[in-house]
Structure 1
Amino acid sequence: MIISHKYKYIFIKTTKTAGTSVEIALSKFCGEDDVITPLMAKDEVMRKKQGGMGPQNFEHRRKLSEYYKGDWWRLVTQGKRPKHTLFWNHITAKQIKARISPDIWNSYYKFCFVRNPWDRAVSRYFWNIERDGVQENLDDSLQNNDPNSNFEIYSIDGQVAVDFVGKYENLLADLTTVCEKLDIPFGGELPRAKGTSRKTKKHYSDILSAAQADYIRQKCSQEVELFDYQYAKASQV
C-alpha cells in the first residue's frame, strides 16, 4: 500500500493482482514523506535492485499513555520506544480512511486492481502451497480464503471506494493510464514479483470443478457484474 503526498494518490493493494509488482514500480517515484508498507523479504530485495524506496512512515511512535507494561520494560532495558503500525500490506479502504485526514482521503486519487475471480482463486491456491509448503485441498482453499476478499479491501459499506479500478488482465496499460493522469514518470517497467508460485500452465477452467466455479461465481457476484468478468473455457481463450 502506498500513500503518496508527492503525487497525491493512494494505491490500495488487493491480493493476487500483481500488487507487489505495482508497488515496486511506483516506489521508485515516492518522496520521503510518502507512506510505503513493507513487502516480504525477497520482494524487498527486488525492490532495492529496481531502485525503489523501501518501507517508511507506516508506523508512529506511541504516546506514553498508550504504553503497555512490556513497552515500559523495553524502554528501560533496551532504550527502545514502541511503535504502532498504522498501515500495512492489504489494509482496507475503510481502515485507511479512518487513519488519514478527510482532506487527504477526499482529494487524493485512489486506485486498485482487480482480477478475474476464478483465475485469482486458483492463483491464491497455488500461492498458499508455495508459501506454506503444504499441499492444500482446493475445496479447503476456497473455504479458508474468501474469493470475495478483494471487494472488501477496496469497498466501504458495499460501495466501491476508489476512483479507478484497473484490471490485472490489462495491468500495464491501466497502470500507465494512472501514471499519466498523476504525472508520474513511469516508463513501462513492471517487475514480475511472486510470479512463479503457479506451477502449471493449465487454464483455471481445467482446474476448477463445476461446483467450485459456481461457488466462486456466487461469492464474487458483485465483481463479476461490476467488471463484466466471464467464466471462460480454455478453448475460448
Structure 2
Amino acid sequence: MYVDQTRKLIFIHNPKTAGMSIVRSFGFPSTGFPNKFNHTRPQEAITWIFQQTWTSFYSFCVVRNPWDRLVSLYHFQRSDNYARIAGLNLSHQRARALNFSQWIDVNIGERHKSLWFGVPQSDWSSEVSEAFRYEDLDTSLPRIAATFGLRWDGALENITPHPHYRSLFNSPSHIDFVAQLECQTIARFNYDF
C-alpha cells in the first residue's frame, strides 16, 4: 500500500501486477513507512490504519490474468533480483529447486507456502474505489494520472522474462486449482485460461 496524503490517493499493491512501475511513475515514496506495508490488503489497511477515513481517499489496485500472474510469481521468486530483495528464503530456494509443476504441487501440499502462493487477488481488489486489469494499464493508468496531476510513463520495470503461461500449465488439476482459487477475480474481470 502506498499513500499520497496530499492527493488523498492510495495504491494497493497486489504482487506481480506492475506495482513498482506505478510507484515509481506516480512518485509514491518507495522507502520508509509506506514500504513497510507495500502489500497490505485493503481490509487490513482499513482495520489497522484508516478506519473511518478510508472512504475519503481514492484507492485503486491492479489485477492480472491469474494463470499469468502465478507464472510471473514463480519466475520472480527464482530470480537473482528476488534473492537480493528477500534473501535466500524458502520461496527462493523452492522456486530454484523445482520446475513450475513441481512448485505448484509442493505449495498446494505444504503448510508453509511460497510467498503470496494461494492468496487470491480478490484480497487486494475488494474494498478499493477501482480495480484495473494489468492487461489494460495503457488506458487505465493515464486516466488516474490525469485525474490526480500525476504522470504515467508506461515503462514497466521489475519484469521477469518467462514463457507464455499456457506453455507451463500442463496439468488440468493445476489449471483448475487456479480457477477455483481465483474464481472471484476471473468472474469480475472476465479472465479465462
User: Which bin holds the TM-score, normalised by the shorter protein?
Assistant: 0.7 to 0.9
* Residues 132-151 of structure 1 mapped to structure 2, 5 A cutoff: 132=92, 134-142=96-104, 143=107, 144-145=113-114, 146-151=117-122
Q: Which residue of 2 aligns with 1:88?
A: 37
2:62–2:133 Cα contact (<8 Å) kept: yes
How large is the RMSD of aligned CA atoms in angstroms? 2.1
For residues 18 and 96 of structure 1, what CA distance do their matches in structure 2 show? 20
Structure label with greater radius of gyration: 1
* Residues 68-87 of structure 1 mapped to structure 2, 5 A cutoff: 87=36
Q: Which residue of 2 aligns with 1:100?
A: 49
For residues 14 and 49 of structure 2, what CA distance do their matches in structure 1 show? 19
One-letter identity of the residue aligned with 1:194: N
For residues 124 and 150 of structure 2, what CA distance do their matches in structure 1 show? 27
| TM-score of the aligned structures, taking structure 1 as reference length | 0.65
Number of residue-to-residue matches in the alignment = 170
For residues 102 and 46 of structure 2, what CA distance do their matches in structure 1 show? 33
Question: How big is the shift at 1:147?
Answer: 4.2
One-letter identity of the residue aligned with 2:156: R
Question: How big is the shift at 1:225?
Answer: 0.5
- 1:191 and 2:155 aligned: yes
For residues 171 and 4 of structure 1, what CA distance do their matches in structure 2 show? 20
Give unmatched runs, 5+ long, in structure 1.
31-35, 39-54, 59-84, 155-159, 232-237
- 1:152 and 2:123 aligned: yes
Q: Secondary structure at the match of 1:190?
A: coil
Q: Per-residue CA shift, 1:52-109, capped at 9, x if unaligned?
A: xxx2444xxxxxxxxxxxxxxxxxxxxxxxxxx9x41211112211233444311100
Higher helix share: 2
| TM-score of the aligned structures, taking structure 2 as reference length | 0.78
Question: How big is the shift at 1:221?
Answer: 0.7
Percent of residue pairs bearing the same amino acid type: 24
1:14–1:113 Cα contact (<8 Å) kept: yes
* Residues 1-237 of structure 1 mapped to structure 2, 5 A cutoff: 1-27=1-27, 36=29, 38=30, 55-58=31-34, 87-130=36-79, 131=82, 132=92, 134-142=96-104, 143=107, 144-145=113-114, 146-154=117-125, 160-181=126-147, 183-186=148-151, 188-195=152-159, 197-198=160-161, 200=162, 202-209=163-170, 210-231=172-193
2:13–2:62 Cα contact (<8 Å) kept: yes
